[in-house]
Amino acid sequence: MTRKRKELFAHKIESITEITPGYFTVNFTRKFDFTPGQVVALTLNKENDPRLYSIASSNKASYMRILFDVKPDGKLTPPLSQVEKGDTVYVSKPFGKFIPSQDKEWWIATGTGIAPFISMMESGSELPQKLLHGSRTIDNFLFQDDISNQLKSDYLRFCTKEKGEGIIEGRLSNWLKSQESLPQNTKFYLCGNPEMVVDVRDIILSKGVAFENIMAEIYF
Ligand SMILES: Cc1cc2nc3c(=O)[nH]c(=O)nc-3n(C[C@H](O)[C@H](O)[C@H](O)COP(=O)(O)OP(=O)(O)OC[C@H]3O[C@@H](n4cnc5c(N)ncnc54)[C@H](O)[C@@H]3O)c2cc1C
């Protein structure tokens, strides 16, 4: 069975920034409307299979931003980290259903999985009751200053390799396990690596959260 590829449109790079070693944001001119939480398919060369990226910017901005880390053996991210202003990227129309609800929400992310939540916050979506963010190192809590300014004590950072002020040691999944109960009538949005998403899903299901209240975006 052949999978239909998404149509790709040429966009001009406006800027690229290495926000912390190995982690980049790329801004390109926005051509399409989107709902925060959606993704685009993106490539530098139409002959190569595109990769998916969550949009990490406001749906009102003139540009669209993505956030990525370089996979040293990856096909796209090493050359993508070398682009310059004025270069062309080929990008699909936005798509995806990882979008805000009308309910109370908890957001849970690891690493670059914070991207859709940045878009939600910058677009003016209802803020979550809590945002749990996991990272190996403190520098890799991407956008942590912006998030802290908005969410204050509802922003919980979990670090597995380093200690720091206001940082909770260990995995966010362990913290969830240790909670006596979790709020019901709340949607849980999970975004990041497959291990975290599967672990957290199982833990919160075991604490009585209904399956239909769990939204997952897996970066495989
Ligand atoms: C819905 C969705 C949203 C996503 N959003 C984001 C985002 O916002 N930010 C982000 O950084 N990423 C995101 N991703 C991941 C992203 O799509 C890419 O997978 C990632 O950036 C790596 O791309 P790459 O081409 O550099 O690496 P790839 O070429 O895809 O390789 C990835 C890794 O797999 C290894 N690998 C490749 N082929 C093989 C093989 N045959 N056997 C074993 N190992 C292999 C490589 O060595 C490398 O380490 C998302 C993924 C999905 C599905």
- Distances in Å between the Cα of 89 and the Cα atoms of 14, 42, 69, 71 are 11, 7, 17, 18
Confidence class of residue 187 from pLDDT cuts 50, 70 and 90?
Answer: very high
Q: Residue whose CA is closest, atom 13 of ligand 1?
A: 53
At 217, give phi and psi (nearest 5°).
-120, 110
- The response to whether residue 110 sits with its C-beta less than 6 Å from ligand 1 reads no
The rounded Å distance from CA 149 to ligand 1 centre is 31
Q: What is the pLDDT of residue 3?
A: 66
Alpha-carbon distance of 211 to 204, in angstroms, equals 9
Kindly report, residue by residue over 112-162, the tens digit of the pLDDT.
Answer: 999 999 999 999 999 999 999 999 999 999 999 999 999 999 999 999 999
- The response to whether residue 79 sits with its C-beta less than 6 Å from ligand 1 reads no
- The response to whether residue 68 sits with its C-beta less than 6 Å from ligand 1 reads yes
Rounded to two decimals, what is the model's pTM?
0.96
Alpha-carbon distance of 139 to 136, in angstroms, equals 9
Kindly report, residue by residue over 15-38, the tens digit of the pLDDT.
Answer: 999 999 999 999 999 999 999 999
Domains of the chain: 9-91 (2.40.30.10), 104-218 (3.40.50.80)
48 CB contacts (<8 Å, ≥6 apart)? Answer: 75, 76
Q: Of 57, 77, 135, which is best to mutate to test ligand 1, by the most ligand atoms within 8 angstroms of its C-beta?
A: 77
- The response to whether residue 73 sits with its C-beta less than 6 Å from ligand 1 reads yes
- The response to whether residue 76 sits with its C-beta less than 6 Å from ligand 1 reads yes
3-state secondary structure of 112: helix
Predicted confidence (pLDDT) at residue 2 exceeds the cutoff of 60: no
Kindly report, residue by residue over 41-83, the tens digit of the pLDDT.
Answer: 999 999 999 999 999 999 999 999 999 999 999 999 999 999 9
3-state secondary structure of 193: coil
